[in-house]
Amino acid sequence: MEKEEKKGKEAIPTEFQTLIAGIFPNTRYFDARFDLLQVQIDELKKNQDDLKTALKDIKDDMNYRFQQVDKRFEQVDKRFEQVDKRFEQVDKRFEQVDKRFEQIIASIEKLSDKLDNRDKDLRNFTLKMFSISIGISILGALGAFLKEIGVF
């Protein structure tokens, strides 16, 4: 019986060890888990490096695109400067046109004054000539009347 008791006592620790071994994982389990974690960490580092490279590429691409946009804005600025110069030229031309219109208006006013004076002179001349022609006609009619009467 003592052997059975010893066996029973020994059996308990073995069962207890098995039970503990079932509940608590062994070192192989931890090694496998740590290896898996290390692989995941390595993948994260690789992905992080890939992300850094991608961000650097995006940054370089964006810098290049911004440089192109800056160049385009410089070109647009130059075009606006040209347009401003053209508008200045157009403004100068309009000023010249305005001066020319003023000259034309002054010329028309002078011509109008000349025509008014000429009309006055021509009216006076026409009235004088009309008066002379009326006078000659009256004299002619008087002469014919006097001839008919026998005075001449």
Residues spanned by the domain of 138: 2-149
Per-residue pLDDT of 53-112, as tens digits, reads 999 999 999 999 999 999 999 999 999 999 999 999 999 999 999 999 999 999 999 988
pTM attached to this predicted model: 0.41
**With contact defined as beta carbons under 8 Å apart, do 152 and 143 qualify?**
yes
Which tokens belong to 71?
Answer: 């160049």
Q: How many domains does the chain have?
A: 1
Per-residue pLDDT of 112-122, as tens digits, reads 888 888 878 88
